[in-house]
Amino acid sequence: DLNGQLHGQHLAKEVVVRAVQGFLQSPQPEKALVLSFHGWSGTGKNFVARMVASHLYRDGLKSVCVRVFISLFHFPHHKYVDSYKAQLKKQISETVQLCKQSLFIFDEAEKLHFSLLDAIKPFMAHYANKGQVDYPRSIFLFLSNLGGNTINEVALDFWRAGRVREEISMEDDSSQMKLLKFGFVLHFATENGYARSNLLKDNLIDFFVPFLPLEYHHVRLCARDAFLARGLPYTEAALDEVARMMVFVPKEEKLFSAQGCKTVSQRINYFL
C-alpha cells in the first residue's frame, strides 16, 4: 500500500517499514515503539498512520485497539490538563490490557501540553518489571508539522544542486542531512510540549520520520488516486488542471505544493 499510494516519501517509507517490521518480529521488545512524524501538512503523515492501523488490524482505525487523539479537539483547555491526564492514562491503560498489540496516534503533537506527554511516558519507557500488562506491545505515533521548514530546506538544497530527491538518505552524512536530523531538535527548542516534556531528554522517541514536501508530479499522482478512489474516469489534462489549482512555493521556484495533497480530493469535485 505504501509503495502504490504514498508519493514522494521514500525516506518515510523506508524508516516506517523497517521500524514497524522489526518491532513486530521481535519476540519481546524492550519498550514500546515510538515514531515521530514530521513535515508540512498534506505530505502523508496521517495517511501513513492509517496504513499502519490497516496493516495491524482488520478494522483499521476503527479497531478497539487503536486510539486516535487530536490535540486541540481532545485536550483544548490547559486549565483542565489534570483531568485530561487522568483520562488519557486511563484510556491507554485500558487499551493495553484489552489488546495484545495496541496503537496510539497523537495528531498535532506539537500542541500537546508537556505534562500530558510526561503523563504517558511510563507507557513508552523501557520495560523493567515483568508484570501482567505488556506495555511494550504498543506503538505510539506522534504527528507534527514541527521541522517542516527544515525538511523543505534540505529538499530545496538538493534540487538547487541538481540532485534528485531520491538521493536524500537517512544514512547520508552530508551537511544537508545533518541539518535534517538535528533541525528537529532546534525546532523543539521552543515553547511547545515536545520541548518541555521528557520524551527527547529520555530518548523515548525511537525514530524521527521526515516527510518531504510534494512537487507538481506528486500532486498529479494524488489527483489520479482521488479519481480512482471514486471510480471516476480522468484524463492527463484533468490531472494537470487539479495540480495547477494548488499553490506552489517558494515564490521564485514554485517547486513545492504549500498544502501537499491535502485538498486534492475536494478539488476534483470541480470535474463532477
Read off the pLDDT of residues 89-121 as tens digits, 9 standing for 90 and up.
999 999 999 999 999 999 998 888 888 888 899
**Residue 128's pLDDT is what?**
65
Mean pLDDT, rounded, of the chain: 86
Instruction: Please report whether residue 17 resides in a domain.
Output: yes
- Alpha-helical runs (H) found in the chain: 2-5, 10-25, 45-56, 71-74, 81-98, 114-119, 121-124, 148-160, 175-188, 193-196, 216-229, 236-244, 264-267
203 and 266: one domain? no
**Residue 186's pLDDT is what?**
47
Burial of 42 (0-12, 13-18, 19+ CB in 10 A): buried
57 and 94: one domain? yes
**Residue 133's pLDDT is what?**
55
Closest CA to 150 of 112, 106, 191, 184: 184
pTM strictly above 0.85: yes
134 and 265: one domain? no
Q: Take residue 27 and report the three cell numbers written for it.
A: 519476540
Domain end point (choices 157, 185, 210): 210
pLDDT: which is higher, 114 or 193:
114
180 and 239: one domain? no
Closest CA to 209 of 56, 1, 5, 18: 18
User: How far, in Å, CA of 12 to CA of 191, rounded?
Assistant: 26
Q: Band of the pLDDT at 28, cuts 50, 70, 90?
A: confident
Give pLDDT tens digits for 31-67. Answer: 999 999 999 999 999 999 999 999 999 999 999 999 9
**Domain containing residue 96:** 2-149+176-210
Instruction: Please report whether residue 205 resides in a domain.
Output: yes
Q: What is the CATH number of the domain that holds 96?
A: 3.40.50.300
**Residue 169's pLDDT is what?**
83
**Residue 192's pLDDT is what?**
57
pLDDT: which is higher, 177 or 123:
123
Give pLDDT tens digits for 142-174. Answer: 999 888 888 898 899 889 999 999 988 877 655
